Amino acid sequence: MYKRVLLKVSGEQLAGKYEHGIDTELCAWLAGEIKKVTSAGTQVVIMVGGGNMVRGAQIAGHGIHRVTADHMGMLATMINALALTDIFESEDLSTRCLSSIFAEQVAEPFVYRLAQKHLENGRVVIAAGGIGRPYITTDTAAVSLALELDCELVMKATKYNGVYDSDPAKSTDAKQYDSLTFQQAIENPEIKVMDKAALGMAMDYKLTTVIFDTMKADNILGVVQGKSIGTKIS
Ligand code: UDP
C-alpha cells in the first residue's frame, strides 16, 4: 500500500457524460472512490486538467499569445479544482484546493509546508493552476508536483484501462501493455496517452507511473494497493 500518491484527472474526464463543463454526479462518485483510499490511510494529491475548457497549445494564435493561452488553460484548471473541492467536501471527503496562480480570494496559495500539513491531516489536496508556469501541461505539472510532495506513485486517469499498442478508439485489436519501461513509452510514437515531457521527468527521477481507467469502481484503491491494473511504467 502506497503512503502518498498523486492522481492526475483530465478535464475531459471531469466532463464525463457531457461534451464540455463538469459532470457533478461523476465527481461525487469519484469522491467515494477516493474516500476508500484515504480511509485506508493513503494521502492523496490531485492534479486536475482543464482540457474540458481550454488547452493552451490549441487556442494560441489568431491574436492570442501562447503565454496568455496557457494562463487561460491554468484558469480552466482552477474552475475544475474549485468544483471538485466543493463536491468532495459535500461528500464528506475533507479537501483543500491550493492554487499555483495568485488567486487569494478563491483558494489558498500553494505553499509547500501548507500542502504537507493538509496531507498529514488526512485532507485531499487538489492543485489548481498546474504549477503556475506556461508551456507545460498538467501531465508534466503532475509529475513535478508528485516529486515536490514526495508522492510514491503518479496515477494517470484515462478512458481506456492503460497503454495500448495502437489507438483503442480506432482499432478493435489494439493490445494493452501490462507494463512498459519509460524508455519504451517515450520512444514509441504511438504512445500519446501521457506527454513525453512528463514521462521524461518521471524517468529521470524514477517515479513509477500507472495509466489506468479511474472511472471503474475500486480501481483507484486497487492501484494504491499495488494490484496489477492498467499499465505500469517504471
Ligand atoms: N497549463 C499551464 N501550466 C501548468 C498547467 C497547465 O500552462 O502548469 C495550461 C496549458 O495551457 C494546458 C491547460 O493549462 O493546456 C490545461 O491543462 P491540460 O491541457 O493539461 O488539461 P487536460 O488535457 O489534462 O484536461
Segment 25-66, tens digit of pLDDT:
999 999 999 999 999 999 999 999 999 999 999 999 989 999
pLDDT at 130: 98
**C-alpha 191 – ligand 1 centre gap (Å):** 19
Q: Does any ligand 1 atom lie closer than 6 A to the CB of residue 9?
A: no
Give the confidence band of 210 by pLDDT, cuts at 50, 70, 90.
very high
Residue with the bigger pLDDT between 189 and 147: it is 147
Structural domain containing residue 133: 4-233
Q: Are 76 and 37 in contact (CB under 8 A)?
A: no
User: Is the CB of 80 inside a 6 Å radius of any atom of ligand 1?
Assistant: no
Burial bucket for residue 78 (CB in 10 Å: 0-12, 13-18, 19+)? buried
State the pLDDT at residue 159: 87
170 has a pLDDT exceeding 90: no
d(CA 164, CA 201): 21
What mean pLDDT value characterizes the chain? 96
**CATH number, residue 71:** 3.40.1160.10
Q: How many structural domains is the chain composed of? A: 1
Q: Is 122 in the pocket of ligand 1 (CB under 6 A)?
A: no
Spacing, Cα 173 to ligand 1 middle (Å) = 31
What pLDDT shows up at residue 187?
95
pLDDT at 191: 87
Ligand 1 mean position to 136 CA, how many Å?
A: 7
Q: What is the pLDDT of residue 172?
A: 85
Q: Which atom, in ligand 1's list, is nearest to the CA of 144?
A: 8
Kindly report the number of other CB atoms within 10 A of residue 52's CB atom: 24
Please list the residues that pair with 127 across neighbouring strands: 47, 98
Question: Among 19-23, 137-141, 165-169, 178-182, where is mean pLDDT lowest?
Answer: 165-169
Q: Which of 94-103, 162-171, 206-215 shows the lowest per-residue confidence on average (mean pLDDT)?
A: 162-171
